Structure 1
Amino acid sequence: MKKIGYTENFAEQAALYGGLYAGRVFSQSRNLYHVMCTGGELTARVSGRFRYEASLPTDFPAVGDFVMLDRESNQDGDAVIHHVLSRKSAFIRKAAGTSNDEQIVASNIDTVFICMALNNDFNLRRLERYLAIGWDSGAVPVTVLTKSDLCDDLEQKLIEVNSVAPGSDILITSAVNRDGQEQLAQYMTGGQTVAFIGSSGVGKSTLINCLMGEERLDTNGLRNDDKGRHTTTRRELIPLKNGGMVIDTPGMRELGLESADLARTFSDIEEFAEACRFRDCTHSSEPGCAVQQAIDDGVLSADRLQSYEKLKKEARYEGLGSRQIETLKLNEMFRDAGGMKNARKFAKSKNKRKRY
């Protein structure tokens, strides 16, 4: 079990459930879960009581979860899942539809490789978004630059990535030249779980195939317009020969900012902000703004500050309806004049003037 990430912390949790057995979810198909446990591989379903007591989609098992089962084989039918052990990390996205429910994309990940190709897919603003989500998940984000064989200005690209990825290791890879694979493998020691995220077509599946030593995952690369063809069709935890595990994750580009660690991702801006004259500085036009001074001095780019403000707004509005967003915007517009109460008064007086 240690080979599949079963740590002492999970063992302590499992000990609270006498008569049940621990296992890890490797994949899911509709209501069936493929689970690995001491007795080997088996299929399982959640119990009726579990389903009744679950109030949110995030309560249900996800790929990477450790669960408590009533058996360790399928000799007498499907196993039954009674509990999900507490997750040490989780990637979350908004569920499809109009509800604000959230889904667990993958859990109990130690390292998340944020992949970005060094061709026309190169986008620092997207990288900032993924880093914010990565830090908040509880996993350690590592920036992986793929397709280095297609890059003519690698040194300049590295300077740009370093400016937006404080605290994140940066790896350079090429599936053509097989560069960087040994560096990747160092994060995949026994019991460690990693995940690859990034836009479709940047080479995630190709890297995983190289690490596995076999063409297990389909690959299609980028189209002529550098937009990716999505090849992964389901989330799956894949054991590697060196004892590590990798989660290939479709749909990760749809992750929203319901939860994101912007302070960690933009630690440089947060550090400059501490030196601002006013505690509530908006970093726009206030005197004594250390952030604006950093931009004037050339140590911080205006684009990075703009991205920071944009992601803060997006995180604030995530999950809200159009009316709620409009109310929040009006509150911000009139916050210096008493908020929404005065905004409504202003609107009423304006309507009265129109009548006369």
Structure 2
Amino acid sequence: MNLIEYGLTETIKQAAKSFPDEILARVTEQHRELYQVISAAGEFSAQVSGKFQHNARNVTDFPAVGDWVMLTATTGQQATIQQVLPRKSVLTRGAAGSEGAGQIIAANLDTVFICMSLNADFNIRRIERYLTIAWESGAMPVIVLTKADLCTDLDQKLVELGEVAIGVDIIICSAKQNEGYDELRKYTDNDQTVAFVGSSGVGKSTLINGLMQQDIFATKAIRSDDDKGRHTTTFRQLLKLPTGGVVIDTPGMRELRIHTGDLAHTFQDIEQLAAQCKFKDCQHQSDPGCAVRQAIEAGTLPIERLESYQKLQRELTYSQLNARELENEKIKRMFGSKHKMKQMLKDLKK
């Protein structure tokens, strides 16, 4: 196998030289504790070593699709992952059902295609959420609007999107009309690694099939009752593209929890206004001299955008706390302090 076709760069080559007795490979699939990897010697099924598992501090230390890893081969087509090489970018989300835990969506990306359909599922607030994790990842976000053939108010949607997608390229696609593929291919040349993310049924698999020039993934039509697509991808997978780059398909996400994020980049307009507020700790509520509130009153900043910003701020704060700290933070937000909460309960009993 020629690993250059799978995104191998000089930086990765140099990092691999630190482990001369091990085999360089890239993770192409992940199924819980099992991985599929590709090396110059071919494809292997792999698991992490006992030492790796013992030394891992948290879930995000484990390999993910897109990672470059060092292997020791065992028997047949089995291998053991000994280490993960340094990542140039990593896209993460909050893990479902656990406070403060992160989950890697994909690693070593150059571009993150944030997909959203132009039908009734179009949601500006969701775009802000995806942009927040994409900017933090170290990769470049690009917004991909799908199912343009179902949209009757494209110009209005682009105006709304332009107010939140500051400095982000936007590609309009229609699989039915075969539109948008040439623009997508511009990001997939040579050693580039791209990933498609978005809600279930927005058309990610259909776009990848178009880039692959063959039907790799099964696709399903949108539901007539709620205008949403149906989930098709069930696991993350890395594929070599005919254009020379590689693409990672990811399962659709009904809910995107924030684990880490770059709010300053996503909400540049609010950050710039906040710098003009009279007080540095301005909460943008009823504080005197608040430039953010003045912009809302003047109609130059939608209040929904500020509310989205503040909501994501709270999520980022909560994601770094343990259960006790999280409880105390919520009490502080609702009542001001534990003492005030107890006093309010006492007054209610009276």
- Normalising by structure 2, what TM-score? 0.91
Q: What is the CA–CA distance in structure 1 between the aligned matches of 2:175 and 2:38, rounded to whole Å?
A: 31
In structure 2, relative to structure 1, the CA distance for the partners of 1:255 and 1:44 (3 Å cut) is same
Q: What is the CA–CA distance in structure 2 between the aligned matches of 1:114 and 1:164, rounded to whole Å?
A: 14
Q: What is the CA–CA distance in structure 1 between the aligned matches of 2:20 and 2:257, rounded to whole Å?
A: 38
Q: What is the CA–CA distance in structure 2 between the aligned matches of 1:48 and 1:285, rounded to whole Å?
A: 56
How many Å apart are 1:164 and its aligned residue?
Answer: 0.8
What one-letter code is carried by the residue in structure 2 that aligns with 1:116?
Answer: M
- Normalising by structure 1, what TM-score? 0.90
Match of 1:132, SS state, is: helix
Q: What is the CA–CA distance in structure 1 between the aligned matches of 2:109 and 2:294, rounded to whole Å?
A: 39
Please tell me whether residue 277 in structure 1 is matched to residue 297 in structure 2. no
1:169 — aligned with what? 169
Match of 1:164, SS state, is: coil
1:295 — aligned with what? 296
Q: What is the CA–CA distance in structure 2 between the aligned matches of 1:36 and 1:110, rounded to whole Å?
A: 19
Q: What is the CA–CA distance in structure 2 between the aligned matches of 1:268 and 1:344, rounded to whole Å?
A: 36
What one-letter code is carried by the residue in structure 1 that aligns with 2:21?
Answer: G
How many Å apart are 1:333 and its aligned residue?
Answer: 5.0
What one-letter code is carried by the residue in structure 2 that aligns with 1:312?
Answer: Q
1:84 — aligned with what? 84
1:144 — aligned with what? 144
Unaligned segments of structure 1, at least 5 residues: none
Q: What is the CA–CA distance in structure 2 between the aligned matches of 1:158 and 1:191, rounded to whole Å?
A: 31
1:343 — aligned with what? 340
Aligned residues: 347
- Is residue 129–residue 256 contact of structure 2 (8 Å, CA) maintained in 1? no
| Range that drifts further, 16-25 or 308-317 | 308-317
Unaligned segments of structure 2, at least 5 residues: none
User: Out of 6, 11, 14, which is 2:13 matched to?
Assistant: 11
| Range that drifts further, 24-33 or 213-222 | 24-33
Q: What is the CA–CA distance in structure 2 between the aligned matches of 1:97 and 1:153, rounded to whole Å?
A: 38
User: Out of 42, 62, 65, which is 1:63 matched to?
Assistant: 65
**Runs of 4+ residues over 6 Å off in structure 1:** none
- Is residue 239–residue 245 contact of structure 1 (8 Å, CA) maintained in 2? yes
What one-letter code is carried by the residue in structure 2 that aligns with 1:44?
Answer: A
Please tell me whether residue 248 in structure 1 is matched to residue 245 in structure 2. no
- Is residue 189–residue 244 contact of structure 1 (8 Å, CA) maintained in 2? yes
Please tell me whether residue 50 in structure 1 is matched to residue 21 in structure 2. no
How many Å apart are 1:289 and its aligned residue?
Answer: 1.4
2:104 — aligned with what? 104
Deviations 1:37-81 (A, max 9, x none): 12222222222222232232222211111000124xx77451221
- Structural RMSD (CA): 2.3
What one-letter code is carried by the residue in structure 1 that aligns with 2:251?
Answer: P
Q: What is the CA–CA distance in structure 2 between the aligned matches of 1:349 and 1:150, rounded to whole Å?
A: 57
Match of 1:63, SS state, is: coil
In structure 2, relative to structure 1, the CA distance for the partners of 1:242 and 1:345 (3 Å cut) is closer
In structure 2, relative to structure 1, the CA distance for the partners of 1:126 and 1:44 (3 Å cut) is same
How many Å apart are 1:101 and its aligned residue?
Answer: 3.3
What one-letter code is carried by the residue in structure 1 that aligns with 2:88?
Answer: K
Deviations 1:80-133 (A, max 9, x none): 211111111112234454464332221111101111111101110111111111
What one-letter code is carried by the residue in structure 1 that aligns with 2:212?
Answer: M
Q: What is the CA–CA distance in structure 2 between the aligned matches of 1:295 and 1:32, rounded to whole Å?
A: 51
Match of 1:70, SS state, is: strand
